[in-house]
Structure 1
Amino acid sequence: MLFIRVDANEKIGIGHLMRCLAVANEANEQGIECTFIISDKETERIMINFDFATICLNSEWNNLNNEIDKLIKVISENKIKLLLVDSYYVTKEYFEEIGKNVTLIYLGDLNYYSEYIDCLINYNNYYHKFNYYNMYDKKKTKLLLGTKYVPLREEFTNIKPIVRDTVSNILITTGGTDTYNIAGKIVDYFIKNESENDICFNIVVGSLNRNLDILSKLEKKNKNIKLYISTNNVAELMIKSDIAISAGGSTLYELCACGVPTICYAFVDNQLDSIKEFMATETMISVGDIRGREEECINLIYEKVQILKNNYKIRKKMFNKMQNIVDRKGSFRIVKEICDLGCKS
Structure 2
Amino acid sequence: MNTLIIRVDGNVDIGTGHFMRCLALAQYWQKNDGEIYFVMNNPQSLEDRISLENMNLIKLEEVPASHEDALKLVDIFNELNGDWIIVDGYHFKSDYIDFIKQNDCKLLLFDDEGKLDNYSPDIILNQNLHAHNINYKSLKDYTKLLLGTDYVLLRTEFLNYLNHEKPIKDVATNILVTLGGSDKNNYSLKVLKAINNIDDDSLNVIVLLGSKNPHKQDILDFIDESKVNITLLQNIKDMPSKMEWADLAFSSGGTTVWELAFMGVPVIVGGTSHIEEVLIEGLNKNNLFKTITKLDEIDESNLTEIISEVIYDEKSRKVMSLDGKKFVDGLGCSRVYKNMIEK
Aligned twin of 1:30: 32
Which amino acid is the alignment partner of residue 265 of structure 1? G
1:32, CA displacement in angstroms? Answer: 1.4
Instruction: Give the Cα–Cα distance (whole angstroms) in 1 for the partners of residues 34 and 195 of structure 2.
Output: 47
- After TM superposition, list the pairs within 5 Å mapping 1:180-191 onto structure 2: 180-191=185-196
Is 2:127 aligned against 1:123? yes
1:178, CA displacement in angstroms? Answer: 0.9
Confirm or deny: 8 A CA contact 2:268 2:290 kept in the other structure: yes
Instruction: Give the Cα–Cα distance (whole angstroms) in 2 for the partners of residues 37 and 135 of structure 1.
Output: 28
Aligned twin of 2:94: 92
Instruction: Give the Cα–Cα distance (whole angstroms) in 1 for the partners of residues 231 and 46 of structure 2.
Output: 29
Q: Normalising by structure 1, what TM-score?
A: 0.90
Which amino acid is the alignment partner of residue 65 of structure 1? H
1:301, CA displacement in angstroms? Answer: 2.9
Is 2:241 aligned against 1:236? yes
Distance 1:146 1:218, change over 3 A: same
Distance 1:115 1:315, change over 3 A: closer
Which amino acid is the alignment partner of residue 181 of structure 1? N
The correspondence for 1:286, drawn from 285, 291, 298, is 291
Instruction: Give the Cα–Cα distance (whole angstroms) in 2 for the partners of residues 251 and 301 of structure 1.
Output: 20
Which amino acid is the alignment partner of residue 106 of structure 1? L
Q: How far does the alpha carbon of each residue in 1:99-123 deviate from its partner, in whole angstroms, 9 at most, with x for none?
A: 1221111112233464631111111
Which amino acid is the alignment partner of residue 104 of structure 1? L
1:294, CA displacement in angstroms? Answer: 4.3
Which amino acid is the alignment partner of residue 57 of structure 2? T
Is 2:111 aligned against 1:108? yes
Aligned twin of 1:213: 217
Q: How far does the alpha carbon of each residue in 1:274-317 deviate from its partner, in whole angstroms, 9 at most, with x for none?
A: 112212322111122123x242xx43332122222222111111
Distance 1:216 1:51, change over 3 A: farther
Is 2:259 aligned against 1:257? no
The correspondence for 2:54, drawn from 46, 51, 64, is 51
Query: Which deviates further from its counterpart, 197-206 or 215-224?
Result: 215-224
Query: Which deviates further from its counterpart, 42-51 or 244-253?
Result: 42-51
What RMSD in Å do the two structures reach over aligned CA positions?
2.1
Confirm or deny: 8 A CA contact 1:279 1:286 kept in the other structure: yes
Q: Normalising by structure 2, what TM-score?
A: 0.90
Instruction: Give the Cα–Cα distance (whole angstroms) in 2 for the partners of residues 112 and 177 of structure 1.
Output: 26
Instruction: Give the Cα–Cα distance (whole angstroms) in 1 for the partners of residues 341 and 256 of structure 2.
Output: 26
Q: How many residues are aligned here? A: 334
Distance 1:166 1:189, change over 3 A: closer
1:224, CA displacement in angstroms? Answer: 1.0
Confirm or deny: 8 A CA contact 1:244 1:260 kept in the other structure: yes
Confirm or deny: 8 A CA contact 1:202 1:226 kept in the other structure: yes
1:186 is paired with a residue whose SS is helix
Runs (5+) with no aligned partner, structure 1: none
Confirm or deny: 8 A CA contact 1:191 1:197 kept in the other structure: no
1:241, CA displacement in angstroms? Answer: 0.9
